[in-house]
Structure 1
Amino acid sequence: MSKKTTYLLGILFTIIIGTLLYCYLCNDCHCSLGGETTETTTDETIEIEQQKVMPTTKNAFTIYDADGDFNIEMNDNFNFKTSSFSILDPIAPNVAGGVLKLKDYLITNPLKTVNIVGYYRSDETNNSAFPNLGLARANAVKNYLVTQGVLSKQINTQGILNDGINPDHSNTLFGPLKFGMVTLEEGIIDEALEAACEAIRKSPLVLYFETGQAQISLSAEQRQKFADISRCVDKLGVKVQVVGHTDNTGDAGTNVILGQQRADFAKSYLIRNGILGSHIDATSKGQTEPIADNNTDEGRTKNRRTVITIN
């Protein structure tokens, strides 16, 4: 073999080795050897995960009396935005018509009771005074029924967690509700309700807030008291008594006005959360009924209160 041939083979061998090393060490390169293409993948590969689109839930407005001859079913229903307990307008005409039929049936059957279950999702925010959004929604529908002539004492409300209800793309929940009907026995007293109402009288809902406060935040215990107050109003026909109190700072006459402002603020909060204004009396005691020592900051704070109870 001549020196020239050996020299050329050495160059060719160097090129082949260099190419192989280049393809092996270069992550972003595409090399073709022997007609086959080898592509290298890296840890920087982007993984695209397609979100599973859940079908929108649309519950029908259905009420069936297993012990009678009442039965309505329609595709429309009461609708809500997510994290809201206000019924969306407009209410479908056939739903409004169904409510009027329900009213007439209940008038002629006073022992019948409508059960309204409101659903809520675990990812919703509860801005109501009720323990959960489902109960707040059921109460909103109850109030609509009352405005159409249905007696509140013939309506039971309940809230249940249900992550199976899915809103549409505009965050609208279509009929997050379930309706039922039962027949009560005449003369039966709801002892649990009586006990709950008496507990409110003994231990009212007390709010502490300053003048100009824009909102009221309730604890879990206070939310349950609110729910009990609402139920006592519906079932027993009692009235809500809202009384504003102040400390003894300033003029006594001015404090009466300040206490009334606090009572009116609390009343408006109750109305926004579904207790009809005609069922609420708001008054002021001013500084005349302190429950703590007005000579201390702590005592004055306790005296600046609004008490919500039932008669």
Structure 2
Amino acid sequence: MTKTTTNLLLMLITILAGVYFYVMYCSSCGASGQEEPMQETVTAPVTPKATSYPFALSDGAYAYNTNDNYNFNVSSSSFLTPLSQNVIDGIASLRTFFAENTGKVINITGYYTSDENNNTAYPDLGFARAIAVKNHMAEIGIPSNQINTTSKLMDEMIPQEAVYLGPVSFSIGEKAEDEEAALKVLYEKVKANPLVLYFDTAETTIDLTMEQRQEIADISRYLDKVADAKVIIVGHTDDTGDAENNMVLGQNRADFAKDYLMRNGISAAKISSTSKGQTEPIASNAMEEGKAKNRRTVVTLN
């Protein structure tokens, strides 16, 4: 073997060795000598499916079921219109059923969530929704004394684009045997502890406590069950200004409370409003504390 051939073989061996070591130890090296970062897989968030409750009732031979129902915006007590024809047909069939079964009642339960804003006169938004549905059914011809209303917290409800689909449920039951006695107890409770709303001078806003909201719910229930029942609203003032103006101010406050109850589903035909002005103080007008007690509107039953 010549010297030239030997040199060529050595060069070839050197090249092969270089290729070998590169493949073995540097095949994953980048141009900068660092490993390429791994690409993260981004998963799009999954939108939870909206809940939907049907308009469904059954009682022996009677049954009606549709996936349509009364729908409400989030934090609203007014159902959306127009109603589907399936719901309208269901109410018509219920009207016939209750006309033929006067001893039966429909129980309406309104659903609500704890993060909704309740701007109604009732203890919670679910109760206000049940009242709205009750009033609609009564307008169509189902007697209000055959309709019961209640509410249920349903934090598992999920809206569809800020609309709750059917946040009300229905069932059919029997009229309570002791209903007359229960209504008498309710009447005596309201008469013994009437709802009293207080106002600042020249102010006509209403801010209810939870106890006062329950009183309005009690009054609403009694009005529904007793045909000739009425809510009586009387406005009172302190002796600031002249007596004639205070009579007008008292009437304005009583009318404001009347409008407030009407906006919350109590019929105008069931409400009477009047004023006593400054003529019936319950405390001395000599002190501001007494004046504050005299600026009041009293809401009770006839």
Over 3 Å off, 4+ runs: 31-36, 47-52, 187-193, 210-215
Cα distance in 2 for residues equivalent to 1:175 and 1:209:
38
CA shift in 2, pair 1:122/1:285, >3 Å: same
CA contact (8 A) 2:204 2:256 kept: no
CA contact (8 A) 2:199 2:292 kept: no
Match of 2:215 in 1: 225
Tell whether 2:75 aligns with 1:83: yes
Cα distance in 2 for residues equivalent to 1:162 and 1:49:
30
Match of 1:32 in 2: 30
CA shift in 2, pair 1:211/1:153, >3 Å: farther
Cα distance in 2 for residues equivalent to 1:150 and 1:105:
9
What per-residue deviation string (whole Å, max 9, x for no partner) do you get for residues 179-237 of structure 1?
A: 0001236x533544432321111111111124765642211111111111111111123
Match of 1:182 in 2: 173
Identity %: 46
Tell whether 2:279 aligns with 1:288: yes
Instruction: Say which of 184, 199, 219 aligns to 1:194.
Output: 184
Aligned length: 273
TM-score (norm 1): 0.81
TM-score (norm 2): 0.84
Cα distance in 2 for residues equivalent to 1:140 and 1:166:
21
Tell me the SS of whatever aligns to 1:56. coil
Cα distance in 2 for residues equivalent to 1:48 and 1:246:
66
Tell whether 2:100 aligns with 1:101: no
CA contact (8 A) 2:57 2:171 kept: yes
Tell whether 2:244 aligns with 1:253: yes
Which of the pair has more CA radius of gyration? Answer: 2
Tell me which moved more, 257-266 or 86-95: 86-95
Shift of 1:272: 0.7
Tell me the SS of whatever aligns to 2:30. strand
Cα distance in 2 for residues equivalent to 1:183 and 1:218:
34
What is the Cα-based RMSD across aligned positions, in Å?
2.4
What per-residue deviation string (whole Å, max 9, x for no partner) do you get for residues 21-59 of structure 1?
A: xxxxxxxxxx7389761549xxxx9x9885442111221
Tell whether 2:254 aligns with 1:263: yes
Match of 1:27 in 2: none
Tell me the SS of whatever aligns to 2:52. coil
Shift of 1:249: 1.5
Paired residues for 1:148-163 under 5 Å:
148-163=140-155
